[in-house]
Amino acid sequence: MVIGLAAAALAAPVVCEPGEAARLVRDANIEPTRVPVTHPWLVPGLARASQAAAAAAVAQECDAGGELVVQRGDQYEGAGWSAYMVVLSRVELEGCSLVHHRVPISVGIGPEEQPHYTVGEPLPEERTPLDASCPDPAVWREQTVIDGENTAVRLVLVVDHAGDQVTHSHVAVRTASPAGWEEQVLVTPAPPRLLDPAAAGPLLRLAPTPEGDVFVVASQDRALAPCRALGGQTVWRHAPGGWVASEGRDALRLLAEHALWRYAGDDGWLLILALDDEEDEDLIDPRIRRLQRRDPEPLMKLHSGDFPGLHAGYVVVTPAPWPTEALADAARGRWRRSALAYVKAAWRAPDPCVPPPAGPSAPAPQDSR
């Protein structure tokens, strides 16, 4: 679990004992759901009381001696629920460096009367040399929200440093819910392009769907010397148990179904098997059922106005998109009995070697065929 921290630690004494933390909440008439906001220094003790097994990491830091501080981390407040992060830090002097031991504690506030506490795995130690003569290198973790700032889903670039060296990097997705914060590492190491915009590799972005869900998409991959597009895309969607990845045509299907073609790394070629006017959309479903009997590949229904390569005003029936015209055309043989079965480019992926236009983002030029 990785977490963005507030700039300064909170100065109030940290309460580690579960009984003492509960007593203070009761005697001071503190609303339990407001503790992570108004009294975060009580969170370590309350977390130990609610999650005994995982809270051993909190007890270890509390009992080890040294200065204890807490820092506020990520927070998100939704309609009727909220999620907060508090990080317990123990600071000790080792030689000529300060060593920081850190344990993240997630707090979820939902419909229940009591908050939900989750103690995460300890974070990597950080070291701060006290003066220029100290031979120890500085060791720290840098993290940057690369997409989704202040939202319930955040894409985070995490980079560990030791002096002038990068020792580790990854990209994680951080998700808030009434149960608190959860985090999942998606890509290790992080693509070089995220560390240096002029480097190789794909981009990673959040893709909000019209229905309100959010995908994570890796696409626009490229190699350098000379620069060339590599194509392909990976789409992660949130499911029970975590974020699930889809690649290739499965990823293209997800993007097409939700009109998110702008995030694709491949072109989108459709094998159009049937179409009808949008006002007659209810007539398309029986045709889909008849067509589906001819081939096990699932068919989908798309609105042509969502795609720059199609004429607006129609509902089209098609399998998942193909990345090339040749692949789509080769599949047409399975559908020769269809009245239509013709191939058309719904979109063309932008070239990752061409700088984006200045000013507000605009779609890449499209093939009008």
Q: DSSP readout, 33-98?
A: GGHHHH-GGGHHHHHHHH-TTTTHHHHHHHHS-SEEEEEEEEEEE-SS-EEEEEEEEEEEEETTEE
Backbone angles phi, psi at 361, to 5 degrees: -65, 145
Q: What does the alpha-carbon distance between residue 153 and residue 214 come to, in Å, rounded to a whole number?
A: 8
**How much is the pLDDT for 366?**
42
Measured in whole angstroms, the distance separating CA 10 from the mean position of its chain's CA atoms is: 29
- CA distances, 63 to each of 14, 15, 68, 208 (Å): 12, 12, 10, 45
Q: Tell me the backbone φ, ψ of residue 240, rounded to 5 degrees.
A: -55, 125
Structure confidence by residue, pLDDT tens digits, 174-211: 999 999 999 999 999 999 999 999 999 999 999 999 99
State which residues of the chain have pLDDT below 50. Answer: 1-2, 6-8, 360-369
What is the phi-psi region of residue 252: left when phi exceeds 0, alpha when psi lies from -120 to 50, beta otherwise?
alpha
Neighbour-count burial for 340-365, b at 16+ CB within 10 Å, e otherwise:
ebebbbbbbbbebeeeeeeeeeeeee
What six digits make up the tokens of 353?
């070697």
Cα separations in angstroms, 101 against 7, 125, 131:
17, 5, 20
Rounded Cα–Cα distance for residues 261 and 217 (Å) = 11
3-state secondary structure string, 260-306? CHHHCCCCEEEEECEEEEHHHHHHHHHHHHHHHCCCCCCCEEEEHHH
Q: How many residues does the chain have?
A: 369
Q: What is the pLDDT of residue 368?
A: 34
The model's pTM is 0.88
Picking from 198, 267, 206, the residue whose alpha carbon sits closest to that of residue 231 is: 267
Cα–Cα dist 187/245, whole Å = 11
Q: What is the pLDDT of residue 70?
A: 95
pLDDT of residue 10: 56
The predicted-structure confidence for 8-55, as pLDDT tens digits, reads as follows 455 578 999 999 999 999 999 999 999 999 999 999 999 988 766 667
Nearest to 125 by CA among 106, 114, 141, 112: 141
pLDDT for 9 equals 55
Task: Name the 3-class secondary structure at 25.
Answer: helix
